[in-house]
Amino acid sequence: MLTKKIKFTSNKFDKIKISLIVTIILVFILLFLKPFDMFSYITNAKWYLYFGYGASLFLAHLITIFVEDRIYQRQDKKWYIKNEIFVKLLYFFIASIIIYFYHFLFVKTFQKPWTSFPVFVFNYTLPFFLMFVPLMIFYRNLKGEIYKEAERKINFEGTNKSEKFTLKQEDILFARSENNYVFIYYLDDELVKKIMLRNTLSKVQKQALFLIKSHRSYLVNPKKIDSLKGNSQNANLLLKSFDEKIPVSKTYFKKIQELNFNKEL
């Protein structure tokens, strides 16, 4: 459930726009509706202080936008329910602190600022948070998108020009050379299949530059690697959806070891 992909608004202009909308709504509510009688002590001469709450909320949202963009990029442009929950709680925490200190410094001085903070958050910040977050989530679902990498197709050719195969990059597991032939293993409806080309491994690698060498006779799709077993003297790779071990020679061990095996396609 928490790792389910959901929509993410990657357009910063859209996110700033919704932040401004939320800010304007907050100022309108404070200025005209005066909820909870929470600002009865602000005189008419100080009506402009209301805008400070909106500015505080806007600043908190800008900080949150920066954090969520960093998370989104580090996860290869994927966004999950757990990320949404974390960011909304972070937004609430940052907004609570900024708004409270604005209130403490410019509107009303509390005699015991730290003991007053939980009361202020519970009575005032939390109700507004519960009011605005559904609006922000709705906007995300309306304007957001689930990032999908463009489907890349790889064209393989043998020395015999009649030997031509096209495979999806994400389906390719590895390639193995044997005598004058190269066997390319791939997934087809979760079944492992292979094609045979009369060619060299080096020429096949030029046709599929994303494949990396693990051994003089093997090329592997780095995003299909599940784990690396052994040491530089005797190592093997385990691939996702494939039971057999792929040898790793000493020459390529360090490069393979530095890969991030947990990256999703």
Tallying the residues shown for the chain, one arrives at: 265
Q: Which of 117-121, 197-201, 258-262 comes out lowest in average pLDDT? A: 258-262
Q: What is the mean pLDDT of the chain?
A: 85
CATH superfamily of 153-257: LytTr DNA-binding domain (2.40.50.1020)
Answer whether 0.85 is exceeded by the pTM. no
pLDDT at 265: 35
Question: Per residue in 226-243, pLDDT tens?
Answer: 999 999 889 999 998 888
User: Which one-letter amino acid corresponds to residue 69?
Assistant: D
CATH 2.40.50.1020 domain span(s) along the chain:
153-257
Statement: residue 219 has pLDDT above 60: yes
- Tens digit of each residue's pLDDT (9 = 90 or more) over 87-101: 999 999 999 999 888
User: Is residue 241 classed as helix, strand or coil in its secondary structure?
Assistant: coil
Share of the chain above pLDDT 70, in %: 88
Whether 58 shows a pLDDT value over 70: the answer reads yes
Q: pLDDT band at 146, cuts 50/70/90?
A: confident
Host H or E run for residue 19: helix 12-28
To which H or E segment does residue 166 belong?
Answer: strand 164-168
Strands 164-168 and 245-248: unpaired
